[in-house]
Amino acid sequence: MRATLMYAAGDVRVEDVADPTIHQPTDAVVRVLLSCVCGSDLWPYKSLPPTDTPRHMGHEFLGVVEETGSEVRTLKAGDVVVAPFTYSDNTCEYCLEGLQTSCVHGGQWGVRGVDGGQGQAARVPYADGTLVKLPVGEESALLPDLLTLSDVLCTGYHAARTAGVGKGDSVTVIGDGAVGLSAVISARLLGAERIVLMGRHRTRTDLGRDFGATDVVAERGEEGVARVRELTGGQGTHRVLECVGLKESVVQGFGVVRDGGTISRVGAPQFTDVPFGFRDFLRNITLTGGVAPARAYIEELMPHVLDGSIRPGRVFDRTVGLEDVADGYRAMNDREALKVLIRP
């Protein structure tokens, strides 16, 4: 089959790789209908040193079950399914707590002999635990919206949930990328009253307003903090959803959070130390979040997608075929595209 490989920063190729087959009785093979490029794929796209053992790319996909191992109980060939961005058995202690990203048998796509998602098909470990059946057909117009359950919507939702967003809350979302916009959808879904979106790309923040942002702050850094404080009577917001992953955006988070408030970060941190000393200790700030256990949220969010009350697939503003995936990476990296859908 054809699949996406990264050989170095900026060097993405589509090549022939081995067709997936059942290795374990708990595996399934899924033919990919849709996948996409993630903001986190852009970190290696900017920085990966040249390598002879290229990375198998992609961790967001939905598709059709083609084959199942002998121990797979809940799925059969022909089922349309979505895969969360990590696989998990969904039976261990961590999975039962809703922390499938710490599953004792779980892991990442594209490493240790597991396929990436940006290809024509994938072997799925622990298929019963990992995959969620979608009650739609292969031709459903909702597939792009449902694909967001794989990562981006669940990541935004994880930010909102771990930040404790509830009815009437004031929330700042830092970042107008696809995760930030998904965080806006999620904050709205959980009842936030005021949602300040910090971002400076007009088409993205306009989509954020459609999703429920009540205010947009284009300024960054100290200026941005001052503007959010001005909007909130000098106090900042109870909840802050940090959807970028840079140190500056976390620092911005501390600037806009109200005393006693919570910052949840779901942008993969590109730094090791967080400036979180005595000053914010005196303010009783909480820093939470982390990599989203997408699997925990799929069933909960799916009904809102199916009934059309949220339209998270609107974050896809470009579609490429698999052979053109390199151009999809380039377009996202150049900020020409917000999020790129791949139709193998």
Counting contacts by CB under 8 A, is residue 272 touching its own copies? yes
DSSP-derived pairing of the beta strands 237-242 and 170-174: parallel
Counting contacts by CB under 8 A, is residue 277 touching its own copies? yes
Using CB under 8 A, which of the segments 148-156, 187-195, 210-218, 262-270 binds its own copies? 262-270
Minimal distance, residue 63 CB to its own copies, in Å: 26
Residue listed under structure tokens 């669940």? 154
For residues 278-337, which are near its own copies according to CB under 8 A? 278, 280-291, 293
Residue listed under structure tokens 């990599």? 291
Q: How far is CA 265 from CA 125, 241, 247, 252, 291, in A?
A: 28, 6, 11, 12, 9
Distance from chain centroid for Cα 216 = 22
- x/- site string to its own copies, residues 80 to 99, per CB under 8 A? --------------x--x-x
Minimal distance, residue 102 CB to its own copies, in Å: 4
Minimal distance, residue 71 CB to its own copies, in Å: 26
User: How many residues touch its own copies (CB under 8 A)?
Assistant: 32
What span, in angstroms and rounded, lies between the C-alpha atoms of 52 and 104?
A: 30
Residue listed under structure tokens 């989203």? 292
Amino acid at 92: C
Using CB under 8 A, which of the segments 1-9, 76-84, 177-185, 265-273 binds its own copies? 265-273
- Please say which residue, 94 or 211, places its beta carbon nearer to its own copies: 94
Indicate the SS3 state at residue 152.
Answer: helix
How far from each other are the two terminal CA atoms of the chain, in whole angstroms? 11
**Site for its own copies, rule CB under 8 A:** 94, 97, 99, 101-102, 162, 259-260, 265, 268-269, 271-278, 280-291, 293
